[in-house]
Amino acid sequence: MFALSLAAYTTAQMDLALFGYAVPAIRAEFGLSLSGVMGIVSAAFVLGGLLIVVLGVLTDRLGRRLMLQLSLVVSSLLVALHAIAPNPAVLTVLRGSSIGVGGLTYPITGALITEEFPARVRGLFLGILQVGYPLGWALASVWAAWILEDYHWRWLFLFGLVSLPLALLVRRVVREPQRFAEARAAGAVPARVRDLLAPGIRSRAVLLFCSQFLFVWAYAASIFLFPSYLREVRGFEAFDFSVLIGAGNAIGVLGYLLAAFVGEFLLTRRTTVVLWTLTGACCFQGLVWVAEGFTELLIAYALMSMFFYGSAAVKFAYLAEVFPTRLRATAMATCGSLAVTLGSAAGPLMVARGIETIGWAQGYALLVGVPLVGAGLLYLLLTPVPSGLEVEDIDRLLSGRKA
């Protein structure tokens, strides 16, 4: 089940990454400014965020297995349809719909691992699952390096269909977690988004939402704008920037694995998030201000990916553990995925506008770096949870605490 969850998560990230690589070509075809194409990204993420909250609630009501199959099939088709989008408006609708349906893999796979795996290694496997982020971008870079240099950008999105066979495997392999089945059989109250504002849960939910929003503001702005940065500031062609980003994310996998290990066996996940995020912020500044040439840029990008992006490995595990089973997918969809999509909507657009006003270096460094530091510091307000506890024990530990 874990391998299948990782494959589903990786292909979902690959689908997301395809658009990032295609941004320069999309801008050229439709005659869009940098902020204009980021406007498409922004609107699409808002649409996707609203959709994913609805789908997350349905996952807590209808089951993880059914909704994962739906996510894989429908998102694959929506990504492939990008190839025939006639104008920016249609492209925005397709993009938003695919983000919402494909992004459902985030709360579903998190819920599956949290509810099925032994407590002593649960956090480790949740962290390893986040390797799907860099693997998805690395996989997309393979297609981008091949397609964008010699073919039209539209062909790139046909690779979204590669995740279709996974739906058949989910049907055969994945089962409903026993914890979820027992909660539903016991007549648990159907999940509602407003339950996240109940006493004892509200502060935790708000802090996690705000931290995730700031983190993804920085993450999305850094990664969606980086191909344009490498083309316009560093003079890289499509093949070169695809290889650099793909290789950097592949190397960055080490940071995800190390974060998962440290968060599980050496420090609490909360402390690991703070350490990784602030270190990643320093690495990002080095990428913008210090690195020169392909090799230095690759090293700086890989280090940034290991810490900045790698912090997601422990964020994901913490978020998955600290909510009751009956609310888990709803909480991950709202405090996780909705915050992700809204941060992805706001970050690239606002950073692009800042870059157009004050230049690449200052805009990139300030409008990515400051929100990233804020995201790390907010975790200091959350309760550190010892690793190795059953989810029921975590519920009891956090019961009555503000955060």
**pLDDT tens-digit readout, 145-201:** 777 777 788 888 888 888 888 888 888 888 887 777 776 666 566 677 788 888 888
pLDDT at residue 402, rounded to an integer:
66
Please say whether the beta carbons of 143 and 18 come within 8 A: yes
pLDDT at 142 over 90: no
Phi and psi at residue 55, to the nearest 5° = -70, -35
Q: For the chain, give the percent of residues with pLDDT over 90.
A: 23
Average pLDDT over the chain, rounded to an integer = 85
Query: Which of 2-11, 140-149, 287-296 is predicted with the least confidence, judged by mean pLDDT?
Result: 140-149
Q: What is the band of 209 on the pLDDT scale with cuts at 50, 70, 90?
A: very high
Nearest to 80 by CA among 174, 190, 157: 157
Instruction: Please enumerate, as own/partner, the contacts of 162-165 that have beta carbons within 8 Å and a separation of 24 or more.
Output: 162/11, 162/14, 162/76, 163/7, 163/8, 163/11, 163/12, 163/14, 163/15, 163/72, 163/75, 163/76, 164/72, 164/73, 164/76
